[in-house]
């Protein structure tokens, strides 16, 4: 096998890299020795790239069970002297926060970098929390790249600082950094890095209250050292006009890009001084105070919450500075993403210059939407169909995080609420305790992530819950990453398969059935049997993710469904199953053989309407 391009030893080589790939190269050049993660958009390409590179001589990596575990494994490795990287999406850091706060106290000699990939605009997330807040409350020096080349350079710098200070460092990206490509110029790729030898030191590493109080002092000292680094950091750049100007802008993250374009498009490049922050915590307060002193008006541009703005207001107050600080307003709010035009508009209002033209309204007719949907042949569809047949709207459907959240889309409407990973079980338990009938759906990877504890709790506390584990044998939504439920032959030699059924049984669940998720009759029978029972009942609905089966397992069903007779039954199936492979052909229903995955669920529902035909015999 040829060597992955990211392992190129040619310093000076330029490659077009995704922000997330740039992080990988930066980590490799820093000499990363341990990588852990739980996948989540927009962070997943970092570890997926580490997996693809396959350089076990350089680093060990794992897809951990969840972010807390990933954090703890990475912290342990960093304690053991390894330069360690742990990656996750923003909400993942909520799960991982517990170990992180305390390891900031103890410190980690090997050096730990925590990637938090935030998702302003909720492209694929349940909230748009701004994790710069964690840097502040957990005492983490923080780097925020705005371009791929910075993602590369800052990752390297973050590792160097992590090892120097022995403190965990946060690398914070957003979707438009992680998923934006740009040219990156490579540096030297080192040979193997050595471990910092582990030395027992309970007075540091066992945070009993007496120790923790002392370590709190130590972390404050480390943060002061980090501030001195920030004062001199090449990532904190001032761009001042040759002669003094009244207006100054302080900005960080992706907002820097929008500002760059807005200054050009509005012809304002020579009107303002700019302070761009790349190392954004702790703040270089001396330099910032100096910047505030030199300007009558300062505008803060930061996507997300107004952290920087509030810090600068506090700094101005503390130093008694007479400066007018502006930030969030009706144009640039703390909601969603910024853009070039929004920033241009805000600049114009602040400077009193002409505002950019509003976009023209084209008055285009209302168009049919294209919402994401469960794939043709998705094994969740048949489960939702069966559940709806048995329960209709008589229960509350407690959903969870994964492709199957799309069960919310009509006609399935199999999602009534959702909090976070694992909440289908524990949130469902609480709701059921208030007298609702609850059917919970959770995927296999999410079950291992944070369903195990919820299920143990449900059994322990005698909750009433019908739980369906949608076992498609992979982590589908984020790109088919391994999880313990995956088949041993797919996992390879480095992981061990865990048996879902055995686990559920071992928790003391006696009402348990494992069913082929394509088998509608068995599903309906099981739902009906469990319907009026009390206690915790579990159905494991098994069937590989159809994309995973095709791409990784190389399994394609030999037959496709064709319509053999039109009528009421066919139309009802179209309406109730709503498989994306169906289409209307005038008054008739037809199946697109290029989309049909051959699950044959429609044949079971409408046996008079469909039949199976060999794939080769049907023309696309």
Partner 1 sequence: MATDARLRIYFTGVGGQGTLTATNLLAKTALMTGLDVVAGEVHGMAQRGGVVESVLLLGGLRSPKLDLNEADLLLGFEPLETLRGLPYLAPNGVVISSSNQLPPLSVSLGAANYPDLETIKANVNKVARKAFFLPARELGVQAGSIQSGNTVLIACACACGILPFDIETLKKGINTFLAPKLQPANLKALDLAKEYLQKEYSK
Q: Does 237 bind partner 1 (CB under 8 A)?
A: no
Q: Which of residues 455-494 bind partner 1 (CB under 8 A)?
A: 477-478
Closer CB to partner 1, 121 or 207, in the complex: 121
Site string for partner 1, 85-124 (x = CB under 8 A): --------------------------------------xx
Q: Which of residues 490-549 bind partner 1 (CB under 8 A)?
A: none
Q: Does 610 bind partner 1 (CB under 8 A)?
A: no
The DSSP code for 481 is B
- Residue 246 C-beta-side C-alpha neighbours within 13 Å: 6
Distance of CA 620 to the CA centre of its chain: 37
Question: Can you point out the beta strands (E) in 302-416?
Answer: 324-326, 396-398
Closer CB to partner 1, 247 or 260, in the complex: 260
Q: Does 578 bind partner 1 (CB under 8 A)?
A: yes
Closer CB to partner 1, 32 or 581, in the complex: 581
Distance of CA 73 to the CA centre of its chain: 19
CA distances from 320 to 223, 291, 293, 310, 617 (A): 24, 14, 10, 15, 82
Six token digits for residue 212: 């923790």
Six token digits for residue 529: 């049997």
Q: Does 212 bind partner 1 (CB under 8 A)?
A: no
Six token digits for residue 89: 């999406």
Render 491-522 in DSSP notation, one character per residue: H-TT-----HHHHHHHTT--EEEEEETT-HHH
Q: Does 369 bind partner 1 (CB under 8 A)?
A: yes
One of 4, 51, 60, 181 touching partner 1 (CB under 8 A)? 181
One of 234, 359, 435, 492 touching partner 1 (CB under 8 A)? 359
One of 2, 191, 365, 394 touching partner 1 (CB under 8 A)? 365
Six token digits for residue 13: 């080589």
The DSSP code for 473 is S
- With left for phi above 0 and alpha for psi between -120 and 50, is residue 402 left, alpha or beta? left
The SS3 call for residue 267 is: coil
Site string for partner 1, 45-84 (x = CB under 8 A): x---------------------------------------
In sequence order, which residues have a C-beta less than 8 Å from that of residue 394 and are 6 or more positions away?
Answer: 437
- Across 484-516, b (16+ Cβ under 10 Å) vs e yields bbbeeebeeeeeebeebbebbeebebebbbbbe
Q: Which of residues 551-570 bind partner 1 (CB under 8 A)?
A: none
Q: Does 380 bind partner 1 (CB under 8 A)?
A: no
One of 240, 297, 373, 513 touching partner 1 (CB under 8 A)? 373
Segment contacting partner 1 by CB under 8 A, of 314-322, 369-377, 427-435, 559-567 = 369-377
Minimum distance, C-beta of residue 257 to partner 1, in the bound complex (Å): 4
Segment contacting partner 1 by CB under 8 A, of 27-35, 39-47, 426-434, 551-559 = 39-47
One of 42, 109, 282, 544 touching partner 1 (CB under 8 A)? 42
Closer CB to partner 1, 76 or 402, in the complex: 402
Closer CB to partner 1, 261 or 529, in the complex: 261
Closer CB to partner 1, 138 or 146, in the complex: 146
Minimum distance, C-beta of residue 369 to partner 1, in the bound complex (Å): 7
Distance (Å, whole) CA 46 – CA 577: 37
Closer CB to partner 1, 418 or 465, in the complex: 418
The SS3 call for residue 402 is: coil
Closer CB to partner 1, 106 or 472, in the complex: 472
Closer CB to partner 1, 9 or 360, in the complex: 360
Q: Does 375 bind partner 1 (CB under 8 A)?
A: yes
Distance (Å, whole) CA 263 – CA 348: 10
Distance (Å, whole) CA 455 – CA 465: 10
User: Would you say 610 and 590 are in contact if contact means Cβ atoms under 8 Å apart?
Assistant: no
Closer CB to partner 1, 29 or 150, in the complex: 150
Segment contacting partner 1 by CB under 8 A, of 21-29, 332-340, 510-518, 535-543 = 332-340
Closer CB to partner 1, 42 or 451, in the complex: 42
One of 84, 173, 175, 379 touching partner 1 (CB under 8 A)? 175
Distance (Å, whole) CA 288 – CA 343: 22
User: Would you say 169 and 140 are in contact if contact means Cβ atoms under 8 Å apart?
Assistant: yes
Give 333: exposed, middle or buried? Use CB within 10 Å, 0-12, 13-18, 19+: exposed
How many beta carbons lie within 10 A of that of residue 207, not counting itself?
17
Q: Does 348 bind partner 1 (CB under 8 A)?
A: no
Distance (Å, whole) CA 449 – CA 239: 46
Tell me which residues touch partner 1 (CB under 8 A): 14, 16, 41-42, 44-45, 123-124, 146-147, 175-176, 179-183, 254, 256-258, 260-261, 337-342, 357, 359-362, 364-365, 367-375, 403, 406, 477-478, 574-575, 578, 580, 582-584
């Amino acid at each position: 096998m040829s060597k992955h391009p990211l392992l190129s030893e040619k310093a000076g080589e330029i490659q077009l890299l995704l922000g997330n790939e740039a992080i990988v190269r930066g980590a490799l050049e820093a000499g990363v020795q341990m990588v852990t993660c739980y996948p989540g958009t927009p962070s997943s390409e970092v570890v997926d790239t580490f997996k693809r590179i396959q350089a076990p001589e350089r680093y060990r990596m794992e897809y951990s069970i969840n972010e807390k575990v990933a954090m703890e494994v990475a912290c342990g490795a960093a304690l053991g002297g390894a330069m360690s990287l742990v990656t996750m999406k923003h909400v993942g850091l909520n799960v991982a926060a517990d170990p992180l706060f305390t390891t900031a106290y103890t410190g980690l000699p090997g050096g730990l970098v925590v990637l938090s990939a935030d998702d302003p605009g909720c492209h694929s997330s349940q909230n748009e929390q701004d994790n710069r807040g964690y840097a502040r409350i957990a005492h983490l020096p923080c780097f925020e790249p705005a371009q791929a080349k910075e993602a590369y350079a800052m990752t390297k710098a973050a590792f160097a600082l992590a090892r120097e200070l022995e403190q965990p460092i946060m690398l914070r990206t957003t979707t438009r950094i992680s998923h934006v490509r740009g040219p990156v110029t490579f540096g030297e790729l080192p040979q193997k890095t050595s471990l910092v030898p582990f030395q027992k030191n309970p007075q540091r590493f066992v945070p009993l209250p007496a120790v923790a109080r002392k370590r709190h002092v130590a972390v404050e000292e480390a943060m002061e050292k980090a501030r001195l680094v920030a004062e001199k950091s090449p990532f904190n750049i001032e761009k001042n006009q040759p002669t003094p100007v009244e207006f100054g802008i302080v900005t960080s993250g992706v907002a820097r890009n929008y500002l760059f374009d807005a200054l050009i498009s509005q012809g304002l490049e020579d009107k303002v001084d700019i302070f761009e922050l790349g190392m954004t915590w702790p703040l270089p307060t001396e330099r910032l105070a100096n910047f505030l002193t030199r300007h009558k008006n300062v505008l803060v541009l930061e996507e997300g919450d107004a952290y920087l703005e509030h810090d600068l207001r506090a700094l101005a107050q503390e130093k008694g500075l007479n400066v007018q600080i502006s930030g969030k307003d009706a144009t640039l709010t703390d909601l969603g993403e910024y853009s070039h035009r929004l920033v241009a508009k805000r600049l114009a209002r602040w400077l009193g210059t002409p505002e950019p033209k509003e976009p023209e309204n084209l008055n285009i007719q209302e168009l049919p939407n294209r919402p994401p949907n469960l794939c043709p042949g998705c094994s969740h569809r048949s489960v939702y169909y069966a559940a709806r047949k048995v329960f209709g709207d008589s229960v509350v459907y407690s959903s969870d995080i994964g492709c199957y959240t799309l069960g919310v889309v009509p006609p399935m409407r199999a999602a009534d609420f959702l909090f976070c990973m694992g909440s289908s079980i524990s949130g469902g338990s609480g709701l059921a305790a208030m007298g609702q009938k609850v059917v919970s759906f959770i995927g296999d990877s999410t079950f291992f992530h944070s369903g195990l504890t919820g299920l143990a709790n449900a059994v322990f506390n005698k909750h009433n819950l019908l739980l369906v584990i949608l076992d498609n044998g992979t982590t589908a939504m984020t790109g088919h990453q391994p999880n313990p439920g995956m088949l041993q032959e797919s996992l390879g030699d480095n992981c061990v398969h865990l048996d879902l059924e055995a686990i559920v049984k071992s928790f003391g669940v006696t009402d348990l059935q494992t069913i082929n998720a394509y088998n509608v009759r068995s599903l309906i029978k099981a739902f009906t049997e469990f319907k009026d029972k009390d206690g915790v009942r579990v159905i494991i609905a098994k069937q590989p993710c159809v994309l995973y089966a095709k791409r990784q397992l190389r399994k394609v069903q030999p037959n496709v469904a064709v319509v053999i007779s039109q009528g009421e039954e066919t139309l009802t199936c179209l309406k109730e199953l709503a498989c994306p492979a169906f289409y209307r052909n005038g008054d008739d229903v037809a199946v697109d053989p290029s989309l049909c995955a051959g699950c044959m669920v429609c044949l079971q529902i409408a046996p008079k309407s469909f039949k199976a035909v060999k794939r080769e015999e049907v023309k696309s």
